[in-house]
Structure 1
């Protein structure tokens, strides 16, 4: 690897899942020390940590419930303390994607998605900026959004709305934090492959492959590559941007 992130200290939320693991692996491969956040997927996060250590990377697993603002601040504080007072990159990846049509959705079910997908992004970013603004070189924040921020699906209204808000939060944060040397962007993936997906949803996978000009599903590594780029010096003049990562699906005409 090229060492694009050599010397960086990164926090990846939701690192117990497939996308979070892909992001963490790529950050470590490029030289970053990586704090892995999880809430319930402790075993998976620890497995990822073992993989990183085997490759010579420095890592730690931190648990927190990101629906609680105080927990968000504690998590960021622990990551920075582990990084000896430094935190150069935050990737807000943690999220949920339940399905429920609007007609039967309760306010509590709406809030559960918004609190996890959006409010946690606000709180973690705010806490991370307090660390980054006082260090040389500032830092980067990357939110994992979704193509559903622009292309909603039936029974995904709460998810799509939360991801659209995440995109606008990043643009607003880029505007307000830029003078501190802090860049804020989003990555909006399309359908990312995971174990058992094709067996569980064969028709959906088939339709995606047909719709994608590149003819395949995304991989966690693809999301990791995008996040590495945004956190690296290669993107030093890039902020407030939504990097769509969908194999070209959104380029296809809908009429």
Structure 2
């Protein structure tokens, strides 16, 4: 018996590295998975095909999550596909541009906040309304260690991710009586193809600092989310689970 047998999960941003790993891990544990994407249709489609090859159920759904109405439509499309079932939402969709504060425009600020925080608000609201009427469920936000440790050029990203962590806590408080658990997962530096070549200094500094001696893998984040969506975490809500190889434990002075 798998950890998520009988569940239906919606994963936003499923065309990216972490999102693809999330969708696959949820499917491996028995969940039917709706993979959201905005532009990465081919990648999301390949992941969905892989899930079906493994004997699972998957569908790809497109939406611009900066549009509140599109977030609510995405949840409706998921429940229409699944026969009225949605038990887990993972709010993973995000952007991470680099822009120093001194030259940042209000439009650049809004783009990051609307994508990384506004979508969490709207998707959570829509999913929780359904879950509350159908026996409850789980909602997990993908935040970041930058929610507590800002990086140069990431003021908009760090501020939005800090708000995502607090949103999870507030949502856990208000939705708990309806059988809905809400948590966040804060990854550290997650490896991806070409990262070491594109940012050699950053990768070196991370490896010098992290106690476990490696970069994170997308599957590390996915494993944490599977745990939080499973019965193993039935009394865990309002929690931020840091997945960073221990780098947060390192002294900063």
TM-score by length of structure 1 reads 0.98
- Mapped partners of 2:134, 2:235: distance in 1: 19
* Number of the residue aligned with 2:116: 117
The 5-angstrom pairing of residues 71-86 of structure 1 reads 71-86=70-85
State yes or no: 1:247 paired with 2:242: no
Q: CA deviation at 1:211?
A: 0.5
- Mapped partners of 1:81, 1:74: distance in 2: 10
- Mapped partners of 1:83, 1:89: distance in 2: 12
Q: CA deviation at 1:80?
A: 1.1
- Mapped partners of 2:84, 2:188: distance in 1: 35
* 4+ long deviations beyond 6 Å: none
- Mapped partners of 1:97, 1:243: distance in 2: 20
- Mapped partners of 2:190, 2:56: distance in 1: 25
* Number of the residue aligned with 1:107: 106
The 5-angstrom pairing of residues 206-245 of structure 1 reads 206-245=204-243
Q: CA deviation at 1:201?
A: 1.0
| 1:88-138: CA deviation from partner (whole Å, max 9, x where unpaired) | 0000000000010111001000000000000000000000011100112x1
* Number of the residue aligned with 1:146: 144
- SS of residue matched to 1:133: helix
Extract unaligned runs of 5+ from structure 2. Answer: none
- SS of residue matched to 1:163: helix
Extract unaligned runs of 5+ from structure 1. Answer: none
- Mapped partners of 1:224, 1:68: distance in 2: 26
- Mapped partners of 1:51, 1:187: distance in 2: 25
Query: CA RMSD for the aligned pairs?
Result: 0.6
Equivalent pairs counted in the alignment come to 253
- Mapped partners of 1:70, 1:241: distance in 2: 28
- Mapped partners of 2:59, 2:191: distance in 1: 26
- Mapped partners of 2:6, 2:220: distance in 1: 22
Q: CA deviation at 1:83?
A: 1.3
TM-score by length of structure 2 reads 0.99
Q: CA deviation at 1:203?
A: 1.5
State yes or no: 1:156 paired with 2:134: no
* Number of the residue aligned with 1:174: 172
